[in-house]
Amino acid sequence: MRKISFVLLAVILMTACVSKKKYVALEHENGQIKSELTKTQFEKEELETKFAKIEERVEAYNAKINTLTEENDVKMEAVGDVAVISNDTKKQMRNTLKNVDQNKLRQATTLKDSMNLAVSYNLQKSLDNSTLNEDEDIAIDIDETVVMISISDKMLFDTASYRISSKANNILQKLANVINSEPSIEVMVEGHTDARSIHTPKIADNWDLSVLRATSVVRALQNKYNVAPEKLIASGRSSYLPVAGNDTKEDRSKNRRTRIVILPNINKFFALMASNE
């Protein structure tokens, strides 16, 4: 009996020792877990701080890139000796050139050529020349920083007359819309004749006829189409700036024209035209 009691006591003591060792081990493991958790929390906070700094740097770089992009868009570039345009305008021009006749576009070898095509396209669309013969009745070009629109006299006047005809109403209205839509635009109206001399009780010579035609257009733009007179200039060139010979009826017809010289800020003008697409 006593032997059994010793055995039981030994078992109890051994069990108690094992439980204590296990408890100590668990305590140690718990401490390690807490330590790892604290370390992980610290590393997490450290990473969050680093990430926040990285985000700040990314935002700063993005802001710098945006600034550089904006500066690049408005950066001015010389187009030969013709004009100075911004990169933003060039982007608008590229969009417009998608609509231009591809045969004409293939012939454009310089930025000046492309600008001519783009502005001409927008002007022609604004003037709605669907009823005009592009080669004979109206021609649009850019030269020496200005936009020039040459209109055949048969579109504006009766033969050998300086009175505006009723068929001119459509094109003058659309021209006035272009002029009135942009404050920076000024317009010079030039009258041109062929080389045949003229003399009537009201018209002394070709100088007189060319100037009278220019002032007739200027008065119509001012009085009928509400163009501010301070934006208008009237001039006559007589027969001394021909675009063709004067030996044939066809060539003389080309020389009888009114040239509308628009003096715009090219960037503002093109932005205006492109916004109508």
Residues in Cβ contact with 170 at an 8 Å cutoff, skipping those fewer than 6 apart: 128, 131
CB 76 within 8 Å of CB 84: yes
**Cα–Cα–Cα angle for 118, 232, 158, nearest 5°?**
85
**Mean pLDDT, range 2-19, rounded to an integer:** 54
Of 48-57, 188-197, 228-237, 248-257, the poorest mean pLDDT is in: 48-57
Answer yes or no: pTM beyond 0.75.
no
- Mean pLDDT estimate for the chain: 76
Q: Which residue has the higher pLDDT, 139 or 39?
A: 139
What's the CA gap between 273 and 261, in Å, rounded?
16
Residue 79 CA: distances (Å) to CA of 76, 212, 239, 268, 275: 10, 36, 31, 16, 22
pLDDT beyond 50 at 106? yes
Q: Which percentage of the chain shows pLDDT scores above 90?
A: 26
Identify the band that residue 76 occupies on the pLDDT scale cut at 50, 70 and 90.
Answer: very low
What is the structure's pLDDT at 94? 78
Handedness of CA 81, 83, 86, 87 (dihedral sign): negative
Q: Would you state the pLDDT for residue 107?
A: 79
User: How much is the pLDDT for 130?
Assistant: 46
Give the tens place of pLDDT for each residue, 113-163.
777 777 767 766 766 554 444 545 888 776 655 678 899 988 899 877 899
pLDDT at residue 118, rounded to an integer: 75
pLDDT at 206: 94
192 or 93: which carries more pLDDT confidence? 192
